[in-house]
């Protein structure tokens, strides 16, 4: 059996919960998603604030002082936790800084930011451009050498919808939300 077929089958199997979730609930309401080997739970109540460089520097000196998790210039205030109850909803995930939504790593508790961007592996720049055009995305970085690309969308719903299109392409080995985080202690 062809190794690409095996990879495609495994990718489809691994993405099945994400694709089912995409049909079941809009981003920012409930559920989990996978990125690489990690599972993340959406945190729809979290508030994300973009800080000035000075505010971010001060926060880095006392990271636990304000009760927020800090990733770069963003402060993430859990404000109600990780919405384990079905139906929990945030007024508007796009109300957060730069359209970001927070999620918590199910294994280690680390909080991450999720932009409306996908990471795609096993793809050429030309194929990434074609699929991005088809799904309304924009390639922000693509590499022949690593056979990977980052594709930006207008919002998380558009990125989520594009996962199915990208994963259906036989050349794509893996596709997932891009996750922005840093090594931080569980909350």
Tokens of 42: 């959406």
User: Average of pLDDT values for 11-32?
Assistant: 44
Q: What's the pLDDT tens digit per position in 49-85?
A: 888 888 877 777 765 566 788 888 888 888 743 433 3
CB 130 within 8 A of CB 167: no
* φ, ψ of residue 57 in degrees (nearest 5): -65, -45
pTM, whole model, 2 decimals? Answer: 0.70
Higher pLDDT, 35 or 86: 35
Instruction: Name the residue among 178, 173, 170 with its Cα closest to residue 153.
Output: 178
**Above pLDDT 70, what percent of the chain?**
69
CA-to-CA distance for 58 and 28, rounded, in angstroms? 29
User: Average of pLDDT values for 164-176?
Assistant: 95
Query: How many other β-carbons are positioned within 10 Å of the β-carbon of residue 84?
Result: 9
Rounded to the nearest angstrom, the gap between the alpha carbon of residue 113 and the centroid of all alpha carbons in its chain is 7
pLDDT surpassing 90 at residue 90: no
């Amino acid at each position: 059996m062809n190794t690409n077929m095996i990879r495609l089958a495994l990718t489809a199997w691994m993405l099945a919960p994400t694709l089912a979730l995409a049909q079941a609930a809009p981003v920012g309401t409930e559920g989990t998603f996978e990125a690489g080997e990690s599972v993340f739970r959406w945190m729809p109540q979290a508030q994300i604030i973009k800080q000035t460089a000075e505010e971010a520097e001060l926060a880095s000196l006392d990271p636990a002082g304000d009760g927020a998790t800090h990733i770069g210039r963003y402060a993430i205030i859990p404000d109600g936790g990780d919405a384990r109850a079905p139906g929990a909803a945030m007024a508007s995930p796009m109300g957060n800084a730069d359209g970001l939504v927070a999620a918590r790593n199910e294994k280690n508790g680390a909080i991450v930011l999720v932009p409306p961007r996908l990471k795609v592996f096993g793809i050429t720049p030309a194929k990434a451009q074609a699929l991005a055009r088809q799904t309304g995305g924009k390639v922000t970085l693509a590499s022949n050498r690593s056979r990977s690309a980052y594709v930006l969308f207008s919002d998380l719903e558009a990125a989520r919808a594009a996962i199915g299109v990208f994963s259906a392409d036989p050349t794509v080995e893996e596709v997932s939300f891009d996750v922005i985080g840093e090594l931080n202690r569980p909350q």
